Copies of this chain bind each other. A is one copy, B any other.
Amino acid sequence: MRFKRLFTPGPTQVRPEILKELATPQIHHRSPEFSELYAAIQPKLQQVLYTRNPVLLFTSSSTGAMEAGVTNLVARRCLNLVNGAFSHRWHEITKGNGIPCDEFAIPWDKAIKPSMVDEQLATGKYDAVTLVFNETSTGTMNPLEAIAEVVRQHRDVFLLVDAVSGMAGAKIDTDAWGIDYVLAGVQKAFALPPGLAVAAVSERALERAKTVPPRSYYFNLPDMYKFHQKNQTPATPAIPHLFALNAQLTDMLAEGMDKRFERHATMAGIVQAWAKKHFDIYPEEGYWSQTLTCVKNTQSIDASAMVKTLASGYNARIENGYGDLKGKTFRIAHMGDLQVDEIQGLLRALDDILGF
């Protein structure tokens, strides 16, 4: 099999030197060498997330960390802000766990605005609100900073953020913005393979979690925090991923987070210009994602055929639209360790395929 270079919005391309880290010999999860590894990761994760909060490690996909958020942190009623497939999933998770909640849904090509959140929270019904920062299904980047500012004005409302395809690709100033829970899977802008999720949890969130009747044994934040304080995890974690995460965090901080975010913005600008020239961009202007572009297929090209030709002829993968948006959109990721020239090369390949 010839491996394809991944321009997909997760899993993303992983550098060979990071892949090799996965192959580090195994260590025991209750040994001093494990705690050293855990302790080495923690301050680096905190730097990347701009937080002094503990960053817990989940051996699960991001969906697991989403479930952990609502099952541990909603004491009264949760507001699920929905403008895409993954924010809808968070509502399904909340509802499916029997947690009182309401969905506030807007069209998928629109961003959630701070005023909408303010209006909903003003009802006084909620003590938690979920938001997807960067909707992988639509390429919409919701205005997190401004929304967080609104949520802060409702003192007892906790802000839970799915930053799956945003974290490490766009700045999230966790503590300054007062985010209580922000999660991501490492197979997106962290440019690691899937199998691990991370979440920064605020002190008051950890306090509330102690008072919420636990709905899961595996996704139990107070338990995870108890082990965290010993530089351990309650259950045996995905140790290969921890080796790779440790190395990748070092490289990310060596690049510099500001530079990393700039590189993402530059790549985003290039793809957006290409998309505007030949097609359109799915979400409303002003809210285009910095890590992936969802192209609106205004020319009615055969998106499936294009994806296949790119894979077979150029050994590269982009992704068709998500769910109902299949064919109507397609998605190009510009995140992780991808470089500007790789993005330019990809667009040339698409030009060739589409005859532009």
Residues of A within 8 A of B (CB): 1, 3-4, 6, 8, 10-14, 16, 19-20, 22-31, 33, 36, 59-64, 67, 89, 92-93, 96-98, 185, 187, 193-196, 214-219, 234-241, 311, 317, 319
Does B23 contact A236, Cβ atoms closer than 8 Å? no
Chain B hits for A241, CB < 8 A: 195, 238, 240
Does A217 contact B63, Cβ atoms closer than 8 Å? yes
Point out which of A31, A89, A93 has the most chain B C-beta atoms below 10 A from its C-beta.
Answer: A31
Give A4 to B63 CA distance when docked, in angstroms: 34
Give A60 to B241 CA distance when docked, in angstroms: 13
Point out which of A1, A28, A218, A219 has the most chain B C-beta atoms below 10 A from its C-beta.
Answer: A218
Does B59 contact A60, Cβ atoms closer than 8 Å? yes
Q: What's the nearest-Cβ distance from chain B to residue A114, in Å?
A: 28
A218 partner, pick from B12, B20, B31, B63, beta carbons under 8 A: B63
Q: What's the nearest-Cβ distance from chain B to residue A78, in Å?
A: 14
Does B11 contact A93, Cβ atoms closer than 8 Å? no
Point out which of A28, A93, A196, A317 has the most chain B C-beta atoms below 10 A from its C-beta.
Answer: A28
Q: What's the nearest-Cβ distance from chain B to residue A310, in Å?
A: 12
Does B236 contact A10, Cβ atoms closer than 8 Å? yes
Give A97 to B185 CA distance when docked, in angstroms: 25
Does A96 contact B217, Cβ atoms closer than 8 Å? yes
Closest to A234 in B: B63
Chain B hits for A12, CB < 8 A: 26
Does B193 contact A240, Cβ atoms closer than 8 Å? yes
Give A12 to B237 CA distance when docked, in angstroms: 13
Closest to A19 in B: B23
Give A340 to B60 CA distance when docked, in angstroms: 35
Q: What's the nearest-Cβ distance from chain B to residue A299, in Å?
A: 24
Q: What's the nearest-Cβ distance from chain B to residue A226, in Å?
A: 15
Given contacts A6-B26, A215-B215, contact A187 B96 (CB under 8 A): no
Chain B hits for A89, CB < 8 A: 217
A33 partner, pick from B1, B16, B64, beta carbons under 8 A: B1
Given contacts A23-B20, A26-B14, A240-B193, contact A217 B61 (CB under 8 A): no
A8 partner, pick from B13, B28, B63, beta carbons under 8 A: B28
Closest to A21 in B: B23
Does A97 contact B215, Cβ atoms closer than 8 Å? yes
A19 partner, pick from B13, B24, B63, B193, beta carbons under 8 A: B24
Chain B hits for A63, CB < 8 A: 217-218, 234-235
